[in-house]
Homo-oligomer: A and B are copies of this chain.
Amino acid sequence: MPYTPGLHIISEFTSEHNELLSYSLKFRDFLNDEISRQELTKVGEVWHDFPGGGFTAVVCLTESHISIHTWPEHKLATFDVFLSNYQQVNDGKARAIYDNLLSFYEGAEIQKNEIKR
């Protein structure tokens, strides 16, 4: 079977929701719901809240990974969703997760790149 490149969305956005950028708890609920809704499969995850606010999280999936790094002091976050297309085309799922993420944070996009890989 030939390799079908997946979609990696690479974003940076601002949000006025300081509490959602400072602590991972609510984002964790959001992301778990998305993973479940999109029928993706976790293979491991890291959640790290920094002292003083801000967090880093990566969820590894059979379909690749989702990551976030937040900078509440700059009202800023960097977000990646990368879904490979091993058994089915997941590009629509990557875009749905990203759209829902921006809604969750009421985020204003600073930059977004899409890479097929």
User: Which A residues are within 8 Å of any B CB, using their own CB?
Assistant: 3, 8, 10, 12, 43-48, 50, 56-58, 60, 62, 64-65, 67, 69, 71, 74, 76, 78, 80, 82, 84, 111, 113, 115, 117
Contact = CB atoms under 8 A, between A and B. Distances in A.
The count of identical subunits is: 2
A42 to B, nearest CB: 9
Given A46-B44, A48-B43, A117-B78, A58 B58 contact: yes
A57 B58 CA distance: 10
Contact of A12 (B45, B78, B80, B117): B117
A117 B10 CA distance: 9
A48 B115 CA distance: 24
A64 B60 contact: no
B58 A46 contact: yes
